[in-house]
Structure 1
Amino acid sequence: MTPTDDQTALAVQVSRLYYYQNLTTETIARELGLSRPKVSRLLTLAKRTGLVEIRIHDPAAQPQVLERDIAQRYGVRSVKVVSVPTNSSEQEWLERVAVFTANHLNTLLQPEMVVGLAWGTTLEAVSHHLTPRTCPDLDFVQLNGAGTARHITNLQAGETYARFAQNYGARAHLFPVPTFFDYAETKRAMWRERSVRRLLDLHARARLLVYSVGSPLARVPSHVYVGGQLEHEDLQELEREGVVGDIATVFFRRDGSFRDIPLNARASGPDLTLFQTAKHALCVVSGLGKVEGLRAALRGRLLSELIVDEATASALLAGENPL
């Protein structure tokens, strides 16, 4: 059952007293005129709904060491490494990262916020683990088109945005354009339409961007490389340009640069400077096939916060030093 706004507000109040002021449940109960069992239930509610996120900081623990080293090496503001079982599959890594991200989002989303989401395998996985919570006047906007030459709509992408909107009682703003236009001039003409400009304005107003790094090498395939959005000639062009990954179907090279890649002129995703200048750019990555793309995105300063599984984080640091 979804908690009411009053229950949520009381759970936050109790959590602040318990975790920030170190008050006992007995003291909190007396101060707020509640029973001790009621205080315990509210603390449980806060953890269950993601209002409180418990993190154990063990200086000797591998995930915390990885977080520190990635943050120092690449200058990223916040890094969260998700532990995964030894000898587990990459699908299991993705599920662990998706659950962690879904809970983390509840600590980031605020009323009247515009959130930009880039559809794909990772965000689809996150959408299945969201914890119900009502957040007034929240807007989710699709950052890039999902259509192909055969189908202008993408049911899978649409369902992902619908799950986010339904979970938070929010509005979903879909972007019904192709992932890639056939001609750059067609895109320029479409971008002059008032309906499209309204969505582009939402992109610019987004206070939080949530996305992953796409890669043709990922073992859990990125949709853009297997979903019919790219022709064989497009893939050859990307190889010639030295492309190692994409964000919101806009491509970048090994050094993190993205200017003058011809396919980007036809891409429906935003210019990657949006991710460099965003107030909060949360990149969620899982899988060894994405290591090279993630390293390039870090070099290009294309994120401010990273959530990544432990195995992928280790492989990232095991590679060459950043440029």
Structure 2
Amino acid sequence: MQNQDDLAVQVARLYYYQNLTTEKIAEELGLSRPKVSRLLTHAKKNGLVEIRIHDPREPTRTLEGLLREHFQLERVHVIPTPENANEAECMRRVAMYAANHMGMLIQPGMTVGIAWGTTLNAVSQHLIPKPIPGVTLVQLNGSGTPTNFMSDHALGLLQRFGDNYQASVNPFPIPAFFDYSETKQALWRERSIRRVLDLQQQADLLLYSIGSAKASVLSYVYAANYLDPQDLKDMQQMNVVGDIATVFFREDGSFDGIPLNDRASGPDLSLFKNRKGAVCIVAGESKALALWGALRGRLMSELIVDDKTVRKVLGYGGVV
């Protein structure tokens, strides 16, 4: 007797390759039509089938084309959302798209850096199982607090990616922010820490979002009180608009001279600047200003984002 995966692949080939209807497939294989439908769903849900959509429209006339041209991005994916969709729904749709896209981005033998946060956590909830040989995952920024050395949020996110792709997982069990920059400098000389830092620098693919203190779906670093009132006041004085992997940047994309970055555990943002394989995932108009800054700083090569946020970002630049 065929197992479910084998039967699902057989049904998928008849449906997608030979264009047979579910009724014809049921008749040919001696199955019920509901059983055929369930097998097709099983094939998509478990990564046995990957669906790609190629938009035939002229790229320069689309939001994707405008973003790509204006900010010299390699790839842009703009996710359509209903006119009345709130930011939580935009997040859900972007996360589902990004989770499906991961199966094409992550290739055998890759080292993948992942920054924890609200958006990547949402993506991890929608991943489609796909064992990929030789994949190494590395956490890009620490997540500890004074009361919890390793955040369950960050560890759970990383483990879901690891389980999904059967990858080796390298956590970064250090504070998200050190109390003293001298402590960070000393720890960065330790061999065990250097091993993780080297993996981050060697990563073939970087997956991250953008945090913002003004986000409607609050970024985890702000929601979980990683920052005290003085930190927030200092950021405002420095004209900070967002962060990547808990390292902060201004509206013009610059990140030098921000004192909090000296205590942050995330990588210097030059790691993301003009780098192939730097994939940013953003949802929600309230993050538009932060995304605008990151785009101006060339802090990504590929962007997955909802259409409402794109229109607002392009409005900042007078593009639309």
Query: Structure 1-normalised TM-score?
Result: 0.84
Deviations 1:231-269 (A, max 9, x none): 111111111111000000000011000111111010000
Verify the 8 A CA contact 1:50 1:131 in the aligned structure 2. no
Cα distance in 1 for partners of 2:270, 2:251 equals: 17
Give the C-alpha shift of residue 181 in structure 1: 0.3
AA partner of residue 65 (structure 1): T
Which residue of the partner structure matches residue 196 of structure 2? 199
1:238 lines up with 2:235 in the alignment: yes
Where does residue 177 of structure 1 map in the other structure? 174
Q: Structure 1: any 5+ residue segments left out of the alignment?
A: 27-35
How far apart, in 1, do the equivalents of 2:75 and 2:299 lie?
A: 13
Residue 52 (structure 1) shift: 3.2
For 1:218 and 1:237, locate their aligned partners in 2 and report how far apart those are by CA, in whole Å.
19
User: Contact 1:51–1:107 at 8 Å: present in 2 too?
Assistant: no
Q: Equivalent residue of 1:69, what SS?
A: helix
Q: Secondary structure at the match of 2:242?
A: strand
What letter matches 1:281 in structure 2? A
Match of 1:53 in 2: 51
Asked if residue 190 in structure 1 is aligned to residue 187 in structure 2, the reply is yes
Which of 277, 300, 305 is the matching residue for 2:302? 305
User: Residues 129, 2 of structure 1: CA spacing in aligned structure 2 closer, same or farther, 3 A cutoff?
Assistant: farther
Task: Identify the residue that residue 208 of structure 2 maps to in structure 1.
Answer: 211
The Cα of 1:25 is off from its aligned counterpart by 3.5
State the identity as a percent: 46
Q: Work out which of the residue numbers 87, 95, 98 in structure 1 matches 2:84.
A: 87
Q: Which residue of 2 aligns with 1:30?
A: none
Cα drift, residue 48 of structure 1: 6.2
Are positions 1:281 and 2:278 aligned together?
yes
Distance 1:112 1:95, change over 3 A: same
Q: Given that residues 209 and 281 in structure 1 are in contact (C-alpha distance below 8 angstroms), is that contact kept between their aligned partners in structure 2?
A: yes
Q: Is the 8 A contact 2:80 2:306 kept in 1?
A: yes
Q: Is the 8 A contact 2:274 2:298 kept in 1?
A: no
Counterpart of 1:112 in structure 2 is: 109
Conserved? CA contact 1:53–1:104, under 8 Å: no
Shift of 1:47: 8.8
Which residue identity lines up with residue 152 of structure 2 in the other structure? L
- Correspondence 1:5-44 to 2 at 5 A: 25=18
The answer to whether the 8 Å contact 1:2/1:133 transfers is: no
Q: Distance in 1 between matches of 2:213 and 2:5?
A: 41
CA distance in 2, matches of 1:2, 1:187: 51
Amino acid at match of 2:315: A
User: In structure 2, what is the Cα distance between the partners aligned to 1:295 and 1:239?
Assistant: 17
- Report the residue type matching 2:50 in the other structure: V
SS for the counterpart of 2:273 is helix
Native 8 Å contact 1:148 1:228 kept in 2: no
C-alpha change, 1:50 and 1:255, in structure 2 (3 Å) is farther
Cα deviation, 1:135-183, whole Å, max 9, x if unaligned, reads: 1121111000111122211111111111110111111111011110011
- Which amino acid in the other structure matches residue 276 of structure 1? K
Cα-to-partner distance string for 1:169-217 (whole Å, 9 max, x where unaligned): 1111110111100110000001011110010011011000000010000
1:151 to 128, 144, 148: 148
SS at match of 2:90: helix
| CA deviation after TM superposition for structure 1 residue 226, in Å | 2.1
Equivalent in 288, 292, 314 of residue 291 of structure 1: 288
| Alpha-carbon distance in 2 for matches of 1:82, 1:118 | 22
In structure 2, C-alpha distance between the alignment counterparts of 1:47 and 1:107, rounded to whole Å: 15
Equivalent-residue separation in structure 2 for 1:48 and 1:175 (angstroms): 29
- In structure 2, the partner of 1:68 is 65
TM score, norm. by length of structure 2? 0.85
Q: Which structure 2 segments of 5+ residues have no match?
A: 20-27, 30-38
Partner-residue secondary structure (3-state), 1:54: coil
Shift of the 238–50 alpha-carbon distance from structure 1 to 2, 3 Å rule, reads: farther
